[in-house]
């Protein structure tokens, strides 16, 4: 075994013989939300990946004195380990206190999306079958809601990615972006979306910018997006847009220090307009520029990414 004994007995999981710190991406989430896709994305970037490791074995696994298997590792845990899930949250904090860099990622999707995916693949939900003790068979929607309940506490301490409208390529890119972001400070994720398609499940804060002048009603701007110069120029000339940006920036700068000391690794700020194409995209791009000094800032555009 490795590491020095702690005062209460267990050995450290953080310091292998090589002396290099260990990095763990812990992938959890609702069944059918894309955990396999996320795991494969990390494998492609050099992580050693383990699917469905029982939570009881996580600490022992991280103590393995083998750099190939533990220095950069991604581990997926799902509802098949339902009885052990409550122990994961305190274990995350314990390993983090020992120096392991842990990035919990929680994949989620709307219930309608999950029902459609299970119907298309014809695979049973892991909680829809009776357990070894002869438990009751759960209908698909009931199984999904039960899983949400079981994972609620774990969701609260994780970075949430809403995969409802994401294609596999989009999910792979988001996972890579999050893992590549600096882990020594709070990561800000700015996300544009369309209210007509629902508020993102991964949003920590939501700002509505539908009251701003809409470039959609300018014929030459309609087919463009908020990333295009003509749309950006149009909105930069609107006093309301500048005021909205100032107020959002002021709010975030006021509370970022508190969020950073609250065991948070990521905060997702969702900006919504009607179609998720012009105003919300422009505001997200402007916020990314304004917070460039933060050093750990990402931007994504839900509706544009779904189109692309």
Extract the annotated binding site. Answer: 29-36, 78-81
Tell me the binding residues for GTP: 78-81
Taking CA atoms, 213 is separated from 167, 174, 236, 283, in Å, by 31, 30, 11, 13
**Which token pair is 15?**
């310091």
Taking CA atoms, 66 is separated from 10, 17, 59, 63, in Å, by 19, 8, 14, 9
Q: Is residue 12 left, alpha or beta, with left meaning phi > 0 and alpha meaning psi from -120 to 50?
A: beta
- Identify the CA nearest to 297 among candidates 258, 231, 252: 252
Taking CA atoms, 61 is separated from 1, 95, 159, 176, in Å, by 11, 12, 23, 23
- Full 3-state SS string of 39-95: HHHHHHCCCEEEECCCHHHHHHHHCCCCHHHHCEEEEECCHHHHHHHHHHHHHHHHH
Cα separation, 149 vs 147, whole angstroms: 5
Tell me the binding residues for ATP: 29-36
């Amino acid at each position: 075994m490795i590491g020095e004994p702690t005062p209460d007995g267990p050995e450290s999981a953080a310091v292998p013989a090589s002396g290099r710190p260990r990095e763990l991406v812990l992938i959890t989430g609702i069944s059918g939300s894309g955990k396999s896709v996320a795991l494969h994305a990390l494998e492609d970037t050099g992580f050693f990946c383990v699917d469905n490791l029982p939570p009881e074995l996580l600490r022992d696994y991280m103590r393995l004195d083998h750099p190939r298997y533990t220095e950069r590792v991604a581990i997926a845990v799902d509802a098949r380990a339902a009885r052990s899930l409550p122990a994961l949250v305190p274990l995350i904090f314990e390993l983090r206190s020992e120096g392991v860099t842990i990035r919990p990622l929680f994949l989620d999707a709307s219930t309608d999306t999950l029902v459609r995916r299970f119907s298309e693949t014809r695979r049973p939900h892991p909680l829809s079958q009776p357990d070894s003790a002869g438990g009751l068979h759960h209908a698909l929607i009931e199984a999904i809601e039960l899983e949400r309940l079981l994972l609620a506490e774990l969701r609260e301490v994780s970075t949430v990615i809403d995969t409802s409208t994401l294609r596999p390529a989009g999910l792979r890119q988001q996972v890579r972006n999050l893992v590549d972001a600096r882990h020594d400070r709070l990561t800000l994720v700015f996300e544009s979306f369309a209210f007509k398609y629902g508020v993102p499940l991964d949003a920590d804060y939501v700002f509505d910018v539908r009251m701003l002048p809409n470039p959609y009603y300018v014929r030459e701007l309609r087919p463009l997006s908020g990333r295009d110069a003509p749309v950006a120029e149009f909105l930069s000339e609107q006093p309301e847009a500048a005021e909205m940006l100032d107020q959002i920036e002021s709010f975030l700068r006021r509370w970022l220090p508190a969020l950073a000391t609250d065991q948070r690794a990521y905060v997702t700020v969702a900006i919504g307009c009607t179609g998720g194409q012009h105003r919300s995209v422009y505001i997200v791009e402007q916020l990314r520029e304004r917070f460039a000094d933060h050093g750990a800032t990402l931007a994504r555009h839900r509706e544009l990414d779904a189109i692309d």
